[in-house]
Structure 1
Amino acid sequence: MGKLVEALEREGYRDGESLFGAPYDFRHAPAAEGQANRELSRFRRQLRALVERASRANGDKAVVLVSHSQGGYFTMDFLRRSPLSWRRRFVKHYVMASTGAGGFVVSMQFFASTGNDSSSSPPSPATAMSLPSVGRTLPSRFTALPSPVAFGDDTPLVVTRNKSYAARDMSAFLAAAGLPPDMVRLYETRELPVALNLGAPLVPVTCVNGVGVPTTEMLVYRDGLDGTPEVAYGDGDGVVNLASIVALDKVIGGDPRQEYYRSVRIANMSHRGVVSDPVALQRLVGENLVVTSAEDTRVM
């Protein structure tokens, strides 16, 4: 987020005064309603306190929340679990960058891989989660798996000699990839319900995504899931598929309770480029973050 921070500072924001950071532990992921997650609960408490403190320090103004990639899932979870009256009081606008509504196909390759050290590093945002054996069991890895919300029930995403796997077949795919039953159940009971029930945060939202970059759309394994797949590419930002980006229009924009929703798609822009490329930053800051004014408070 460094380049974005610099761009905002050029617009008059000041670190610790009107610009604040909210780091999170990428190993964790939002859990289904009614299920405990101490790390996420602590993050929500800290973020709520930060928002309120930032508001007080700036004349009780509502804040603008900004997230990138996986941070979008944390922020959506935070907003949906916050009282609506609190959201309306403290959140003026939420800008979600490089996040789809239904995961991305390349994440399935990470699970299929045996995790040998010789394997090539996967692209952001999952590079840090690709460690041998450990990475396959991090709850946050499940968040990135394709959801039927975006990819439908029948679109083949992984194809082997004997079987094809669509978004609805994710449990069978994970089992075939060698995950133990308890980890498959973790996906089914904690992360899949979150993906299926992702909904509008009911605060003004602008979604900013790159498109026009070749993005893994289907993986074909001819020698088993532990082999090297042939990759069919489609549209997206190089990580998040266009189908997941388009699904935002339905998941957020399609909710009649969502009063303001805007989707901005930047041509030929990568996942990271949305918050680092000069052209994207000009668009992001000029058309979205300064929709309100440079006197607002940003929490990122």
Structure 2
Amino acid sequence: MPPAITATRPASRPAPYDFRHAPAPPGTANREVSRFRRRLRQLVERASRTNGDKPVILVSHSQGGYFALDFLNRSPLPWRRRFVKHFVMASTGAGGFVLLMQTLLPSLQVRMIFPGTLSALPSPVAFGDDTPLVVTTNRSYAARDMLAFLAAAGLPPQAVWLYETRALPVALSLGPPLVPMTCVNGGGVPTVEKLVYPCPGGLGAAPEVVYGDGDGVVNLASILALDTVMGGDPRQEHYRSMRIANMSHLGVVSDALALERLLGEILYAATPAVDARAM
């Protein structure tokens, strides 16, 4: 079961999604994701109605953050202001993670590639155009070279096309939800940051893995990019970023200490006396 987005206040209501799919670029649609948005909108309105017409708090984890952002950004702004008091996004970066590049290599014999998988590849939004993520004896691949990397990794043309026409445009258009927002992430955990292939075998050989900071899945660069992409937009009235030291990707929603801090953020945002837009 993939991580779910939850509409909370006062009781939690899960909104599961199909992780194989991914939000579509602006001006296009994904039938499954569109169906998810309709159901989530109905869930939010029902939760508000059963709680005295008060706005709700949305909570997401991991890939659910991308679905929640897509849902909010495709909802009319007056609707967002009316029904969503706060959005708490946990364990989600602004631009994917390097670990996924390792899992796509031929030696792992990936059988099926889904749009939802490609959407988590490192994006220039977080990693920049020139930061080498994969290095071979012949060339290096940065986030801007993802099309060349996918082809060199042996992915079928259809998968490369899906990345170019679906995943990349969504990553480049990532923006703030324009509702009060808190991001909670882990950190201080060794995280795959670069893959080095020193032998002539290229991407078919076993790489030397260079580790950096992150939550064990999402790189620190992707986490920090949230502050620029979300908090750096003047239209985003309230944005708060919190990192929990020495905490893993899943630990944010399973470790007792991390859960206490995460729930503290949710409960504080839910306090009737707190207007997050004025925080």
Equivalent residue, structure 1, for 2:74: 81
Please provide the CA RMSD for this pair. 2.0
Residue aligned with 2:218, SS: coil
Distance in 2 between the 1:82 and 1:226 partners? 44
1:204 to 172, 180, 184: 180
CA apart distance, 1:227: 2.1
Equivalent residue, structure 1, for 2:33: 40
**What residue identity is the alignment partner of 2:41?**
R
Distance in 2 between the 1:233 and 1:19 partners? 37
Equivalent residue, structure 1, for 2:12: 19
| TM-score (ref. length: structure 2) | 0.92
CA apart distance, 1:141: 1.0
Distance in 2 between the 1:104 and 1:182 partners? 22
| 1:273 and 2:251 matched | yes
Residue aligned with 1:67, SS: strand
| 1:192 and 2:168 matched | yes
What percentage of residue pairs aligned between the two structures are identical? 71
CA apart distance, 1:20: 0.3
Residue aligned with 1:263, SS: strand
1:163 to 139, 149, 173: 139
Distance in 2 between the 1:261 and 1:100 partners? 15
**What residue identity is the alignment partner of 2:174?**
L
| 1:234 and 2:206 matched | no
Q: How many residues align?
A: 268
Residue aligned with 2:71, SS: helix
Distance in 2 between the 1:254 and 1:199 partners? 10
| TM-score (ref. length: structure 1) | 0.85
**What residue identity is the alignment partner of 1:25?**
D
| 1:245 and 2:223 matched | yes
Equivalent residue, structure 2, for 1:289: 266
2:111 to 99, 108, 133: 133
Equivalent residue, structure 1, for 2:277: none
Equivalent residue, structure 2, for 1:257: 235
Distance in 1 between the 2:69 and 2:116 partners? 14
Which one scores higher on RCO, CA 8 angstroms, separation ≥ 6? Answer: 1
Structure 2: unaligned runs, 5 residues or longer: 274-279
**What residue identity is the alignment partner of 1:48?**
R
